[in-house]
Amino acid sequence: MKIKIPLMQIKVQRKVVLSCLLLLSTFLMFSQEKKIKIFLVGDSTMCLYDESRFPQMGWGMPFEHFFESTVTIDNRAKGGRSSRSFIEENLWQPIADSLQKGDYVLIQFGHNDAHNSKNHPDRKTTPEEYKKYMGKYINETRAKNATPVLISPVTRMTFDESGKVIESHESYLKALIEVANEYKAAMIDLDTKSRELLEKLGPTFSRYLYMYFEAGELPRFPNGFHDTTHFNEFGARKMAELVIQGIREENLELTNYIIKPYIRQ
């Protein structure tokens, strides 16, 4: 005995099936949306700071807010480290072990390579040694099908009598350019970009990028605080913007994940 199903019921069933298929395809599309992870490897000018150090910030802190939610920033930078000490203190190996295909590693050293300090008496690295260690970061990143991006060390706020910024890392910048050319690696020249920014602002206004305060300007430093190396929240954001500019100039795929500006209609 044949059971006849009303035509209207068949149409309704078809609509339900089509709706389910549409929902399923939409779910699959979003679940398969490409995820990207960016590791930040470097020193105190890039690293994270907790609230106790406010308003001090590394440029890696505001950097994460320039990307869409599909991008994850893992900031592993550590203050006081050089290209060599970061490796020897086993800060690099866990990153190399965890890298996945499609990840990015932004590598910024050179700031601390030129000299030791009281807290870091064995970090000094010559420009030739620096090149060797930067090559290691590149090779081990590429071995995991991830992309290394070299970043030159950001400038210090030091002006000569004519108002020109004195180069802080000349030999290491030269060495990094040589490494980038040898390995055909992407490079963002944050050293030059930051010097150009400071020269536009001049000696008077450049200090507003740094942890540089006169007496009475900030309750935390009633007697003033003169740090010409590390950034406050405004300076960190400006440096992060220069890195974003460099990503665009290098035509990295990351450019596609930078948040588009919201314009009120």
Active site residue 233: no
The one catalytic residue among 44, 85, 194, 206: 44
**Per-residue b/e over 213-236, b at no fewer than 16 CB within 10 Å?**
beeeeeeebeeebebbbbbbeebb
Active site residue 44: yes
Active site residue 64: no
Pairing state between β 210-213 and 186-188 = unpaired
The one catalytic residue among 111, 140, 152, 230: 230
The one catalytic residue among 88, 89, 214, 217: 217
Q: Which residues are catalytic?
A: 44, 217, 230
